[in-house]
Amino acid sequence: MNELKLSIENVNPAVLWGPNNDHFEIIKKQYPKLKIVARGSEVKILGDDHELNIFQEKFDHLLQHVEKFENLNITDLERILGSKANSAPSTDQVTDKFASGEVIVFGPNGVMVKARTANQRKMVDSINKSDILFAIGPAGTGKTYTAVALAVRALKNKEIKRIILTRPAVEAGENLGFLPGDLKEKIDPYLRPLYDALDDMIPAEKLKFYLENRTIEIAPLAFMRGRTLDNCFVILDEAQNATDMQLKMFLTRMGPSAKFIVTGDVTQIDLPKKQQSGLHTALRILTDIKGIEIVYLSGEDVVRHKLVRKILEAYGDIQ
């Protein structure tokens, strides 16, 4: 009798083994000739070589599924364990499904984050083809949410090593200086929409780990100065509040293996009245550069409450 040891440190054991260890019991019943013991982040399997080889191949497919989708139900479990090895979905097949724009990424508990409108799907297609994407549209069109989903997808697919999310720290009618706390405590509430999007797509413990080891970094735009951002997915949110020099500084941080998404709403500029938004300039002078895509979202793309679209239409009449 031989022994095989497999690591499960890259997946959530609660998802893999299921509630009340239901999945673990199914796996053991599927392989009655093997003795399977799970302790912490390691699985020890005892049996003959032939059975161990079969188990390892199926278990690898199982781990890939859980790592990518962060969800596992009985149907998936039985399909993966019961299917022939060569019929299991390949990484390329899964990537093609993601690239189609139907599902961008799976969040905790199998929540599907989808491109829900034509222009959101256009964002998915554009970032697949180009390295810089401008997503321009009014509030509620899902431009930031879709951008964060694309970044999380790239991280899960190991296409990049880091995600960097940034915003210009411009006060929207309120003075940040009156907020309590140090700089981080003052800035974090302003960056809250980015945290909220990440909460929907990454389990809490894993997100905490990513933030602590800087796999995911969230910071004000000013913190980007002087850096080279490479092998990462970078999102500049609320870009309408960046000046010409700030936006130029941000775009020129781009390393050779990076993807950049710039999101903005040109109808909600919080800069002082005499200061021009750098987003207007960028959209004018970068339009014809190959490798830069611009997607314009509209009221038709609003995915918040149905009243948001009507509110945007009403405010559009007085501008």
Amino acid at 4: L
Residues 100 and 105: their CA atoms lie apart, in Å, by: 12
Last residue of a domain, one of 27, 56, 89: 89
Q: Is residue 124 part of a domain?
A: yes
Residue-level pLDDT at 172: 47
Q: Token pair for residue 194? A: 């980015």
Greatest C-alpha distance within the chain: 79
Q: Is residue 97 part of a domain?
A: no
Q: Is residue 127 part of a domain?
A: yes
* DSSP output for 177-198: GGSSSSHHHHHTTTTHHHHHHH
- Phi/psi for 109 (5° steps) reads 60, 25
Q: pTM for the full model?
A: 0.66
* Per-residue CA distances from 141 to 18, 186, 233, 234 (Å): 36, 27, 21, 20
Q: Token pair for residue 3? A: 């022994």
Give the HSE-up count for residue 159: Cα atoms under 13 Å, Cβ half-sphere. 20
pLDDT band at 255 (very low <50, low <70, confident <90, very high): very high
Q: Are 150 and 121 in contact (CB under 8 A)?
A: no
Residues 46 and 168: their CA atoms lie apart, in Å, by: 56
Q: Is residue 135 part of a domain?
A: yes
Q: Is residue 94 part of a domain?
A: no
Question: 65 and 118, same structural domain?
Answer: no
Tens digits of residue pLDDT in 266-306: 988 888 888 889 999 999 999 999 999 999 998 888 777 77
Question: 118 and 85, same structural domain?
Answer: no
Q: Is residue 128 part of a domain?
A: yes
Q: List the CATH number of the domain containing 135.
A: 3.40.50.300
For the chain, how many structural domains are there in total? Answer: 2
Q: Kindly tell me if the per-residue pLDDT of 91 is higher than 50.
A: no
Residue-level pLDDT at 210: 94
Q: Is residue 154 part of a domain?
A: yes
Question: 14 and 64, same structural domain?
Answer: yes
Tens digits of residue pLDDT in 206-249: 999 999 999 999 888 888 999 999 999 999 999 999 999 999 99
For residue 292, give its domain range: 114-316
